[in-house]
Amino acid sequence: MQSHRIAVIPGDGIGVEVCGAARAVLDAIGRRHAIDLTYDEFDWSCARYLAEGAMMPTGGLSQIRHHDAIFLGAVGAPGVADHVSLWGLLIPIRRGFQQFVNLRPIRALDGRQDIDLVVVRENCEGEYSEIGGRLYQGTSAEMAVQESVFTRPGVTRIVDYALDLAERRTGRLTSATKSNGIIHTMPFWDEIVAERVAERSGVSVRSEHIDALCAKLVLDPAQFDVIVASNLFGDILSDLAAAVAGSIGLAPAANLDPTRAHPSMFEPVHGSAPDIAGRGIANPVGAIRTAAMMLDHLGHSEASDNIMAALESVFSGTSVRTPDLGGTARTEDLTRAIIEAI
Ligand code: NAI
Ligand code: MG
């Protein structure tokens, strides 16, 4: 039996609820595939911030550095500014562990829609940068400056990852750009994309301006396979594509350090959804697919496929759906149906 030690950060709101669902599924799959998962749970969250003044303890990263993977629900709570939860927890983990790939597969589960694509989002630099500042605060001359950071190594490694993935899939890569309006960083991005693809045969790249790309993704998602995008563009695109595929509650994500020097972190795309938190109606599927991605990363592709097949059979063979998909099922009903299918 193979053993793995997982650091679990349930977080806030529905993060806690979907984490519980994902763990129930992981326990069932572990029994079936002889995988021994042990969990260490961390209370890092906005609740902790309100009680103790920090999302995570000083030196928190060293507590999870030696785990095989990190599983996170979602963080964010009314009363705590969103930049506190993002910069106090998610970004330090993503950057501290050089999880430079944010992988977001988008696939409809009911087989009714022709959408099966992966957004490869750059996860360590780009528009999400703390370089900048504010001047003359509180006066009529108040101003804010925020710098984007694009580096040759940073862009090269994400483009190479996306090219590898496209090669293994259909050979079609779309690069999200905006080189007409953003005239320094985006032409730089485009140049590196062109350089890297020139070294490959078997992959074709199409560059699309992000605004037009959004419109095409809504109107005809079937034309896309792998999409590589900067941090901000990839963030927006993946929420959009998830909604096109049915609900943001269905979408999984992985923050990967492909070099495996550090643990990777697995978290659904959605946030803590304060509007529905505590009511037991959150869609657990995004978190459960996230668990499948984690198993795949840990070398258990059969167990991962088993979860995906169970999800597909629940979606094609039953009408158990949470309210975000138009149903009346509760989180636990859908989770139970998935475990029965496993
Ligand atoms: P959100 O994803 O939490 O919610 C957006 C909408 O989608 C809401 O109407 C919500 O009810 C619905 N929704 C999301 N996940 C769902 C699920 N599993 N089942 C059913 N419905 C679902 O995004 P929002 O409202 O922008 O952010 C809420 C909080 O979450 C904020 O504090 C934000 O900063 C945080 N957040 C955290 C993330 C993370 O921890 N990775 C990612 C995105 C937002
Ligand atoms: Mg987002």
Tell me: pLDDT of 201 over 90. Answer: no
Ligand 1 centroid distance, CA of 55 (Å): 18
Which residue has the CA at smallest separation from atom 43 of ligand 1?
A: 271
**pLDDT tens readout for residues 220-245:** 999 999 999 999 999 999 989 998 98
Supply the CATH number for residue 285's domain: 3.40.718.10
Q: Are strands 204-209 and 143-146 parallel, antiparallel or unpaired?
A: unpaired
Residue ranges with CB less than 5 Å from ion ligand 2: 235
Please give the C-alpha separations between residue 342 and each of 39, 122, 304, 313, in angstroms, as whole numbers. 21, 34, 11, 9
How many CA within 13 A on the CB side of residue 266? 27
274 and 237 both lie in a single domain: no
Compute the average pLDDT of residues 203-209: 97
The reply to whether 179 and 257 lie within a common domain is no
Q: Do the Cβ atoms of 157 and 256 come closer than 8 Å?
A: no
Write down which residue in 244, 270, 296 finishes a domain.
244
Q: Quick one: pLDDT band at residue 18, thresholds 50, 70, 90?
A: very high
Considering the domain architecture, whether residues 255 and 233 belong to the same structural domain is answered as no
Residues 101 and 139 in one domain: no
Domain boundary among 225, 244, 263: 244
Do 5 and 83 have their domain in common? yes
- What 3-state DSSP class applies to 24? helix
Burial class of residue 312 (count of CB atoms within 10 Å of its CB; 0-12, 13-18, 19+) = middle
Residues 225, 192, single domain; the answer is: yes
Residue that finishes a domain, picked among 244, 279, 296: 244
Cα 91 to Cα 18, 116, 128, 299, distances in angstroms: 21, 28, 9, 26
CA of 268 to the centre of ligand 2 (A): 10
**Secondary structure of residue 192 in the 3-state scheme:** helix
Domain co-membership, 236 together with 254: no
User: Do 238 and 269 reside in the same domain of the chain?
Assistant: no
Residues 70, 93: Cα–Cα separation, whole Å: 10
Same domain, 98 and 53: yes
Number of domains in the chain: 2
Query: Which residues line the pocket of ligand 1, CB cutoff 6 A?
Result: 14, 18, 74-76, 82, 85, 90, 248-249, 267, 270-276, 282-283, 286, 324
* Residue (of 142, 47, 98, 108) closest to 256 by Cα position: 98
The whole-model pTM stands at 0.94
166/190 same-domain check: yes
Domain that residue 83 falls in: 1-107+248-342
Report the length, in residues, of the chain: 342
- Probe residue for ligand 1, chosen from 56, 103, 248, 265 as the CB with the greatest number of ligand atoms within 8 Å: 248
122, 227: one domain: yes
Helix (H) / strand (E) element for 146: namely: strand 143-146
Considering the domain architecture, whether residues 100 and 142 belong to the same structural domain is answered as: no
Strands (E), 189-260: 204-209, 226-229, 254-256
Strand bridging mode 226-229 / 204-209: unpaired
Report the atom number in ligand 1 closest to the C-alpha of 273: 3
Contact 256, 70 (CB under 8 A): no
**Atom 33 of ligand 1, nearest CA residue:** 76
- Compute the average pLDDT of residues 130-134: 95
Over the stretch 262-298, which tens digit does the pLDDT of each residue have? Answer: 999 999 999 999 999 999 999 999 999 999 999 999 9
